[in-house]
Each structure stands twice: as C-alpha cells, then as structure tokens.
Structure 1
C-alpha cells in the first residue's frame, strides 16, 4: 500500500505499454517522486486486485498512460473509476494521438492531458513538473530527496572521471601489448593508424553513452553520464559502480600481466648459437687466467606488432661492470632475423666494456631469444655480490628495461 512505502503516484498502464511506463517511473523517481507500479510493488503472495485497489485508494495521483491498448483494457477503466472514487488527481499521458471513448471519455472529460507523441522523452520534465504541482506539498516532500543541480553536475563529473580513467588504463594495456616501444603520449596518434584497436578503445565510451540513453531515453541528457551513479535512473547504482570497479580492476590486472618487453634470464647450459644465430664476438681469454666460473644468459625481446618501423637498440650490460674482479662478456650470439646493422663493442680486444649493444630493425611479435651471451669470471678474487646482468630495448626516447635483472655472483 502507498502509505507503508511512501508512494504517491499510481501508474496505470496497459501491458503493451510497460517499457514506456518503466521509463516514466524511473524518471519520476529520479526526480524525487515515489511511484507505485504493478507488478513491482505488489507484495509477494498478495492478492493482485486487492493490492491495486488499496494502492489507488492511498495514492494522491493516478498517472494514466493512454494508448490504443489502454483504451481497449477493462483493467484501465476500472482503475480510473477507483481513482475518481478515491478523489485522486488523474494525469493522462497520451502515448498516441487518439481520444478516449465510452466511460473513459466521460471520466476524463475535464482533465488536462499531456501529449507524449511522437516521442516520450521531451515531455518527461513537463510531466514531472505537473505531478509536483498537483501533489499536496506534504506528500511531495515525503518522497525521496530531489537532487540539486550541483549533485547532478558532481555525478556527471564523477562518471566522466570513471570512464576516462578506464580509457587511460585500456590505452596503456593496448600500448604494452601492441605498441610497447612507443611512448604513452604518442599513443593517440599511433592508435589512429590501427582502426580495430581504435574501435576497441572506443567501446567503453560507447557502452557508457548507451547506458545513459537506456536510463533516460533522452538524447539531450546523454552527455551527462549521470546514470552511472543512478542519479537519474533509480536503484541500479551499486550494480553500475560495482561493474565499473571490476572493469578498472580487470584493466589493472591485464596491465600487470602483460609480458615484459625485455627479459634477461639464465640459460640452461652453455650457449651454442647454431645456424639461426650470428656469432658477434668470440671468447679468447688470456692464458694467464683461469676461468673460475661462467654463466650463460638469454635476452628475450618482445616487439609489439604495431610498433612503427625504424631502428631499435637492444643492450645487455653488467651493472656495475666488475673490471677488477675479472667479470666480462665472452661469446655473444645474435638472432639472424634482426637485420643487425651495428654491434658495439665488436672486436675481442674491447672486453673492457661491460655491455653489448645491438642495433637493428627488429620485427618480432612473440617473446624470442634475441641475444645470447656468456659471462665469465677469470680472477681468483670473488666478484662483487652487487653485480647484476640487465637488458633494455630502446626506440627513440622510449626505453624498456628488464624488471627483474639477474644477480651475480657467478657460479
């Protein structure tokens, strides 16, 4: 019953007009006007006819959605009769350009109507204002609190922040997967060259605008996105906010789980390049030193398929380089598919450098063993425990570094 749940407007509609009735109800309730509508407000196990009769007798306004289906419904006629008997205010909302006939014509003869055709949405504000005008002041005040314009603006700003934040996370994930050697700030230009990925990036915004339109059915309000916080769409706020939080969390997890651009790892055994690798450097240790230990490394490089063509630099380095401890690069092998144009240092007498750099036009999509090398310790002293092997890839100003460099001492 209306008094128990503080409802003041009974919505009378034919079953065929239920989508329009739900749209009207959501808009009125978002504006602080509590509505009673079957079957939503019929208590479980209650007699349908009794619940409707009690609701009409208790509510102050009967909102009649008038259409051809409503005109042909005996239930609508009985509800209007009950409203007249209860001295409720009747507000007809015409969904179609037709006139009532029979007893409805008599009952509605002196009632001002609102025409909502050919489109319902433009008349929703007028309908809300009219119902507020005819409701008793005390009844209108006892409904849900009407939100201020500032609250609507705040909700819209929050909703846009949620959507834009998710777009930023999605853009970063796209960058890491397909454009991993392009700076984030260059992504807007690069992604325009990939229509499929640009559409993927646009999906969250399209979905948010579609949700807004479904909530209001009003193109004039679509840009506010306030339906995300249910400011103007009834009781789905928790569902929408929960879904948004899940999307944020999913995007963050996807970013974290994206394979690294560069990974340096210990190889299982001594590096033997084979036919698919080019030996860039031999290992010719001095006869006066004994090899104390040696480790074998592979650098995996992943270059996303959408990275622009150009020169890339792959670098492996001992950090810090332990010259006094006799730790140095030995054999270095390069993947022949790179089209290598330069290797530094190249000659065997330059082992005083604690790094190797390879320049080429890399065009790899999957993780691949790009660079193989051995590191050896020649002297009697122990190498520094702080020495690590790192690797990085560079294109222009963008540098991707191995997140977990391999630590020495050598074994």
Structure 2
C-alpha cells in the first residue's frame, strides 16, 4: 500500500511539473485545451495604458497667436567695419622701413544681432535704430530659412526706430493691433532672437503703460512688460493673445545685461506714426517752438504759484525761434497746448512734436501769476545726426 502511495505521489508531482513548464513556455496550448475563452486561463494579464484624448488646442495655450505672428518676426545680423587707431610712429619712414604695413592695423569687423518685424508684404521691416545704426551690411533671415540683404529706408533716432526693406516675394506681414485698448494685466508675448539662439517666444503681462522719464529716448511712451527680453530681442515683436502687434521690444532694465522682468516696448501707435513719416518724407517731421523746458519741482511750484505736475517751466528761449517771435519769455510756465493740459516736460515735448509745422497753435502760459494765451507759428524740429557709437547687441 505504501508503495502504491509513493508511485501516486511521484506521478502527481511529475504531472504538476509538466503543467508548470507548459504554462510557462506554451500557454496557448492550455488556452486551446480549455476551449479558447472558456475555463480558467493561466496566462499573465497585461496592464492597460491610458492615453489622453487628442485636443486641437490645450487649455490656456497661446499657440494660435504664436503661429500667426512668429513668421513675421525676422532675425537681423549686422556687420560694421571699425577702424583701429593708427600707430603714431607710422609717419616715420624709418619705422615703416622695418615694420612695413603691419604697423598700421587693418580695419576690424564688428558683428551684432537683433530682430525685426515684417509690416508689409512688399518687404518693409520695422526694427530698432540701434540695431542697424551705422551698419555696413544688414542680413535678414526669415523663419522659413530665406535670407536677404536689407537697405535702410529711414530712421528716427529720437524714438529708436528704423525702417528697412528687403526684396523677397510672399512675405508674411504682421497685423497691427490697437494699443489704446490694452490694459495693465493683459497677457502679452515677446518674440525675438535672444543671444542668437534662434527665434524664441516668452510670455508675460503688461506691467505699465505710458512709461517715460527713463532717459532712453527723446520721446518716450513705453509699454512695460515682465515678458523676458534679452540681448538680441531688440526690434522684435510684442504681441497680444490674438497675435496682433502692439509694440516693438526696445530696452530692458538690467544691472548685468540679463532679463530682470522689466522690459520696455515702443507702442504700435508710435511705430505707425514713424513708419508713415518715413515712407512719406524719408524722415519724421515734428513740431518745434524753440524753448528749453524744465521740470517744475515743489520749490518752483511754490514760487510760481502753480501745482506740481501741472505745466513746465520755460528755462530758455532760442533767439529768433517760433516761441521768441510769439513773445514767450524765460520764466513763463506752459500749462496748455491747444487746450490740452501740460503735466510735465515729457508731455510738453510730445504735444509740441505732434503739432504740424507752419501752422499756428494756441499756447497758454502763466506769467507772474497771470494767464496769457499766445498764438505760435510752429516750426520744424531738426532730426539729430546719426550716432557713430558702437551699436549694442541687445536691448538698451
């Protein structure tokens, strides 16, 4: 009996071993034996993998705005020849005999980079004046890989804007937005070529509007944003969430050359005014009255009997200029230009610049506590000469 039991136990062990081997190596044999899907399956089940549903636009994405505007933003590479200082001993014949022409160093080529925005299908591109100023060669590279050499159509150093042109077909022009409808807190996107890494887009909000007194340009009305702007972004686009241009990235506030979340863009209203002036006349025509304005401090306001941030002091009058001919005197306080209140020196300069030359304007002054209204025949402001200083590689 014991012998039979041992034989049974051995047979059962062998059968279980065979079953385990078959289940491991050929599990489909057991499935077939059990009738396909009926019965118990000894095969190991696989874990299901969950995939997110395909969506056309991710929530909160600005891909449509970026896709619309990015083809209109170009990379600009400039080259300028810098003449090195001549060795003072080069005029000595004996010195030239031993050292020859090597004593007089050859000119050095300086390269810089920036960005620009295509504003017309015919090839007009707006950028910063400091990007292309004094450049010997301007190369433009589009997002589709096309390249072209650009020529300067005109520039406006007082707003740091320049208009250049390339000759290529089928250019994707950007749509100009309405900056007057923008508000602090609106989301904006900055597009450019920071550090030459290639076209890049950053996001932020409008931090302030009408920012001035920065001593960057003569005429200032900046959009301030915390969208990252770095060297190479100069001349690039600041767009709204619909992909419309609302500003040209121009400057940053930085102690080390990197972005600190304080960037400045020239509003599209100024951009359009400058472009129209350059296309019509080759340069921007602005009004001028020939005075030296000065901010009114608290002490001056008390002495002249006016409120702070209400008018600007005329510190000097150019002899023979429009203001002098109209009877304006040093010490007068300009408080209105054509019934528009003057708040400070910057506001006064902007208001005067917008006046058409060779036409009369009504200017209201305060002289020795009395209101005085003068008709001034507006003159033409002379454009400053182009600077020959080295251009910066990025926003100023």
TM interval, shorter chain, is under 0.3
Of Structure 1 and Structure 2, which has the larger fraction of its residues in helix? 1
What is the TM-score with the length of structure 1 in the denominator? 0.19
Q: Give the structure with the higher percent strand.
A: 2
